[in-house]
Amino acid sequence: MMADFERELDWDDEISKESEFTLLPEGDYKFTVVNFTRGWHNGSAKLKACKKAELELNVDDGKGNTGTIQHNLFLSTKTEGMISAFLIAIGQKKRGEPVKPNWNAMVGAQGRCKVGIHEWVNDKGETMKSNQIKKFYDHESPAASAPKFQAGKF
């Protein structure tokens, strides 16, 4: 499968791709990190300027609902708990143990999360909606998620 790389368009380029945005229902989803970029947060009223990990997550609830969610991890002591939750979800961190994230291993990492719907009002006064990650679940090892053997049970 050939990757679809972002590139700058020229003024005379043909435009054919349309919006692919789909609002997913709230619920639990499996996710795969399909893109990771090192970015910068310029600062806001709630958070000082800091580095950020810009993640693109493909999500699938196993019921036919699939999509892509952009998720940022801000590299700040204020949001360190959120970074830990993500690292635990993808199996890079164990609870109660410090870890240095392996940022080069982000693409392809998998885990589970709760997807919610975020509502806001845009500059035109319109109510807008988008999906966001509400929570990351602890990583399950393949053995932990496999059915357990019970004698006499099928």
In the predicted structure, residue 140 carries a pLDDT above the cut 70: yes
Give the three-class secondary structure for 61: coil
Contacts of 91 (CB under 8 A, 6+ apart): 109, 111, 139, 141
Secondary structure, 3-state, 101-143 = CCHHHCCCCEEEEEEEEEEEECCCCCEEEEEEEEEEECCCCHH
pLDDT tens per residue, range 79-119: 999 999 999 999 999 999 999 999 999 999 999 999 999 99
Residue pointed to by tokens 């990190």: 33
pLDDT at 144: 47
Flag whether pLDDT at 63 surpasses 80: yes
The confidence score (pLDDT) of residue 25 equals 95
* Section 61-89 average pLDDT: 96
The answer to whether the beta carbons of residues 52 and 73 sit under 8 Å apart is yes
**Whole-number pLDDT of residue 107:** 98
